Structure 1
Amino acid sequence: MRDTERKQDAVQTSDQRWVAQAAAGDESAFRELYRSYVRPVYWIAHGIVGAPADAEDVTQETFVTAWRKLPGLELQGESALPWLATICRFQAANRLRQRRRDQAHTADGVDETLPATVSVEEQVITAALADRIAEEVGTLGELDREIFRLCAAEGYAYQAAAEQLGVSHAIVRNRLSRVRTQLRGAVKEASDA
């Protein structure tokens, strides 16, 4: 088997392997899942709650909840992102409810950290967009999903991602461009609906 094929096989099963190992109590496998998805989860949380500090808290709560739920998880597909995005949305909704309860019980009733424009409709739209993006990422091929994870979620440069995956710089650049176009189309389609 060539090196490229070995690397692609490793990419194809990394989330499934990490989930299985983490479910068995392997903290280093869970750290790999965390490193892979902390940025996308943060941005989903930020899109819902609006405030960076709350988004950080929701992100941490998402991974704490994920750690507790791992033993019973049967990963659908090969990416853990849709599962984590679902947990994140629930945690973010809980955070918004808590902020509203806190606001209702304060003397002045004004919370300046609460975004003035976060309506229930916008929360639903943001959650729907996050769902649509996670769903679309789940349909990507293994190499495309890994390129997206490395470049978009982890901030790798094209060359660094290419070296990590054992492919050329041009493959990373072209596939990432195609993936971004596909995701923009999915977002536009979801927002037009």
Structure 2
Amino acid sequence: MCNSCLLLDIDSIKMFNFIRNTNLPRKAYAQLAKFWGSRIHVESLYKLFRHILELSNIETTVYDCCINSCCAFTGTDYKTAELCPYCHEPRFDKHCRSRNTFEYIPLTSRIKSMFLNCSLTERMTYRSNFEFNAGCYDDVFSGSHYQHLTSEYVVVDGVRHPHLFFSDSHDIALGILTDCHIHPQLSTSGPSDPSSLPPLLLH
């Protein structure tokens, strides 16, 4: 890769961070491009975001979802639904276009990106270096559920594998929390019974 291309990539990353960290309005960014675009590297927002997307090597997946955000239309129960099963709002407008969409970054892409960051990779070794003390509850890794898993063999589709859960230092423990589990008494437009939650978007 030529040095000039690398410098343009770095400029784009710096500009993207500048926009995100300062909440720079689109109109203000357009003025930057208009008045100083010939002196400094300022792309249009569309080109900048496309450039960052290419550099990140992350592909997003777009799902239709309820206009009131009750659920995403995924899985066998919802993929072909034309009405929200909770608030009964129509999925499509009069032009047969989805009224609301959800742009999802697959979990695998996000985890891969974490390992590209040296500092974050170092911090992610916390779990594997955690020293369990049965007489003290220091962290979630002190919990009985996690400790039980560390002595249990991994079983996938009924097939037992030769390794234990979290036996590899690169294994990642994921905790998934939803509003319904955290606040079961809240009254929302979505499902109140956790057992009726739609499929999780994990890829």
TM-score, with structure 1 as normaliser: 0.28
Question: Which of the pair has the greater relative contact order for Cα pairs under 8 Å at 6+ separation?
Answer: 1
Q: Identify the structure with the greater helix proportion.
A: 1
Q: Identify the structure with the greater strand proportion.
A: 2
TM-score, with structure 2 as normaliser: 0.27
